[in-house]
Amino acid sequence: MREVRYQAFEWHKKQHDGVRRRLKEFARRIETGDREAPSELVEYLSHWLHGHTSLTDRMMGARLRNFERERKRAS
């Protein structure tokens, strides 16, 4: 993302940092025996992945495609 000068890099990274924090919270809850945590984890990840891949990753993909097109034109 840095190589292609993706302008939303920090925003994208913050989303991944946030999901990692939440996963650690779920792991802690599961390790302490919270019986509701596994199903909440699956629901959380399902929503996060859908939202992230349908918007954030698509935006990054568009930037990568444009970068490749620009590079091909310049060569």
Mean pLDDT of the chain: 93
User: Is 17 within the bounds of a domain?
Assistant: yes
Q: Count up the domains in the chain and report the number.
A: 1
* Residues of the chain falling short of pLDDT 70: none
Residue 2 is predicted with a pLDDT of 77
Residue 39 maps to a domain: yes
Please check whether residue 3 lies inside any domain of the structure. no
Enclosing domain of residue 14: 9-74
DSSP summary character for residue 52: I
| pLDDT score, position 37 | 98
Please report whether residue 54 resides in a domain: yes
pLDDT given for residue 3 in this prediction: 79
What pLDDT sits at residue 29?
A: 98
* Sign of the alpha-carbon dihedral angle for 11, 9, 52, 49: negative
Can you list the pairs that 7-15 forms with residues at least 24 positions away whose Cβ atoms lie under 8 Å? Answer: 7/63, 8/56, 8/59, 8/60, 8/63, 11/56, 12/56, 12/60, 15/52, 15/56
| 1: in domain | no
